[in-house]
Amino acid sequence: MTDTSESPRRAPWIEGAEPGAEGWLSLSDDDLLHRIHGLPPGHDSDEQLLAVVRSHRHFFIRQEAAKRVGNAERLKAFAADRHVGQVLVRGLTRAEDVDYLERLVAESRHLEVRKAAEAQLAVIRPRKP
């Protein structure tokens, strides 16, 4: 059974560049994905990536941008976004993150986010001192 309870609240994704977009958001989907995947380790492009995460681009593009954000802490503001939330919880590995992950498991409306948080908790808990 498909959950359609969110349908009226979902913003439609925009294929390609949004009208009047600047910077990375002015790129085609293909060029934007190429730019995201071409970032070297330790890049300083978190601001551009977060602009993509905030955009109305297709969820796959937003997920790929979220995966490349260097400071996972900055993704916490997007935890309610089920696509970005999954990426966020996979980046949490410190013992201090357990409370946050447990809260997501208890409060997230999205099954995908809850499942990803549970999986990450299984990784973190054995490491707890």
Which of 123, 57, 45 shows the shortest CA–CA distance to 84? 57
pLDDT band for position 51 (50/70/90)?
very high
Looking at residue 11, its pLDDT comes to 59
* Distance between CA atoms of residues 26 and 79, nearest Å: 25
Residue 91, pLDDT > 60, answer: yes
Q: Among 77, 24, 81, 15, which Cα is nearest to 52's?
A: 24
- Give the separation between CA 64 and CA 98, rounded to whole angstroms: 24
CA proximity to 61, closest of 90, 24, 96? 24
Contact 24, 37 (CB under 8 A): no
Examine the pLDDT at 67 and tell me if it is beyond 90.
Answer: no
Q: Percentage of residues in the chain with pLDDT exceeding 90?
A: 23
